[in-house]
Amino acid sequence: MHISKQEYARRRKALMNQMEPGSIAILPAAPVHIRNRDVEHVYRQDSDFQYLTGFPEPEAVAVLIPGREHGEYVLFCREKDPERELWDGYRAGQEGAVASYGADDAFPISDIDDILPGLIEGRERVYYAMGANQEFDMRLTSWIHTIRSKARMGAEPPKEFVALDHLLHDMRLYKSAAEVRVMQAAGDISAEAHVRAMQACRPGMYEYQLEAELQYTFMRHGSRSPAYSSIVAAGRNACILHYTENTSQIRDGDLVLIDAGCELDCYASDITRTFPANGRFTAEQRAIYDIVLQAQAAAFDVIGPGRDWNEAHDATVRVITAGLLELGLLRGELEELVVSGAYRPFYMHRAGHWLGMDVHDVGEYRVGGEWRVLEPGMVMTVEPGIYIAADNQDVPAKWRGIGIRIEDDVLVTREGHEILTGKVPREADEIEALMARARAAADLPA
């Protein structure tokens, strides 16, 4: 499941059509990051660079020059080097950049200081994401200074820098049919991983053992990495929103909150499920779980074209506040509690975020001071939660340490919406039945 070379070309053309005449766009590839000493992190391409080029290598710079006679898309990249390829792997080289990745022209990255200033000269404006790559910022500034130093000899330096990410990130917000197919595949893989974790879970295991089940499923289906650090949080750890240690032992009676999703072809998935380690919710756990599930359903009801971004969040706030009020965890009048934010000690985050090449994807949430109106092709998460801290002395002891979040990935369609991650159970009864079947198959006591 991949994005085609033709789609990358369409994206470049769409971006260039939005650029002012007489301009140039410059995008560097992601740098290589050192993990420790001479060991590198696994390389992952910069999302904006990937979106426009599909080129997976480091030490590369993409240049778009609308109207250039000898080709509008220029790629600087590493040269073929049999000795280095023996050590570090295949390189496309300049021929591969043209033949396999659609560049009109390609040059060695080692020649960029000699060639790129000449491409910039005479262009009125430079589209570039200043601040995203500080090292490259300095190089680009140096090239501009070099051109300016030759102004008396007739050199024409650019007069303006324009934020490239503003245009590009708005494009990335609208997913094509091909992107949706990749994200659906990622969602299916992640759903299978969550089901496997539920089936494998037993009290006495460690959180990292469930993380291993997730990672195994991701990689078995071709995903090379999670889209973000997987959260496997048992018991009170579930009340830590970004818990990633995953080292605690899972106890009988614990809930296990797993927030994990794979990345496929540089597209993210993002699923959270919460389930009982022993396969049965307690009465208190079930009461909180059902409120969160109702909140998610209320959010789904207001997602569709023409609705605004914030409606889903407001829907979850109202359901969660009403539920906490009914259980006696909040006291007062519903409207006043919603307006005052009395729910925030229990529900302290937003109901979701954009999803795409980044798990917290790009795109404005407000336009002209108003919440963004949803349109077909946008993908968002819906992830209400309730977290009752283990040391919260304001609630009865039976509620303390319960942390529950339920999260799915949702595509806005012309007719309404489509849940991309629906292949993993959400209903408490379904989860208990799934876990009971797994225990029965393993011939373990219920």
**Residue-level pLDDT at 193:** 98
Band the pLDDT of 202: cuts 50, 70, 90. Answer: very high
Neighbours of 6 (CB within 10 A): 10
Per the annotation, the verdict on 242 as an active-site residue is: yes
Instruction: Starting at the earlier edge strand, list the strands of the sheet with 125-128.
Output: 105-108, 73-77, 61-64, 23-28, 125-128, 160-163
Per the annotation, the verdict on 2 as an active-site residue is: no
Q: Which of 105, 213, 263, 383 is catalytic?
A: 383
Contact 431, 275 (CB under 8 A): yes
Separation of alpha carbons 12 and 4, rounded Å: 13
Q: Which of 405, 408, 409, 417 is catalytic?
A: 405
Per the annotation, the verdict on 270 as an active-site residue is: yes
Q: Which of 37, 70, 152, 242 is catalytic?
A: 242
pLDDT single digits (tens) 258-305? 999 999 999 999 999 999 999 999 999 999 999 999 999 999 999 999
Q: Which of 10, 41, 344, 360 is catalytic?
A: 360
Separation of alpha carbons 133 and 240, rounded Å: 31
Per the annotation, the verdict on 360 as an active-site residue is: yes
Q: Which of 349, 350, 372, 400 is catalytic?
A: 349
Q: Kindly report the pTM of this predicted structure.
A: 0.96
Q: Find the Cα–Cα–Cα–Cα dihedral 9, 12, 14, 20, rounded to 10°.
A: -150
Q: Which of 207, 213, 254, 259 is catalytic?
A: 259
Contact 71, 97 (CB under 8 A): no
Per the annotation, the verdict on 101 as an active-site residue is: no
Q: Hey, is 153 helix, strand or coil? A: helix
Percent of the chain with pLDDT over 90: 95
Instruction: Decide if pLDDT at 9 tops 80.
Output: yes
Q: Which of 128, 347, 387, 426 is catalytic?
A: 387
pLDDT single digits (tens) 208-263? 999 999 999 999 999 999 999 999 999 999 999 999 999 999 999 999 999 999 99
Per the annotation, the verdict on 7 as an active-site residue is: no
Separation of alpha carbons 221 and 91, rounded Å: 25
Q: How many residues does the chain have?
A: 446
Per the annotation, the verdict on 358 as an active-site residue is: no
Instruction: Tell me the average pLDDT across 157-162.
Output: 92
Per the annotation, the verdict on 407 as an active-site residue is: yes
pLDDT single digits (tens) 305-353? 999 999 999 999 999 999 999 999 999 999 999 999 999 999 999 999 9
Separation of alpha carbons 419 and 322, rounded Å: 25
Q: Which of 38, 83, 415, 443 is catalytic?
A: 38
Per the annotation, the verdict on 353 as an active-site residue is: yes
Per the annotation, the verdict on 417 as an active-site residue is: no
Q: Which of 12, 236, 353, 417 is catalytic?
A: 353
**Residue-level pLDDT at 442:** 85
**Residue-level pLDDT at 445:** 59
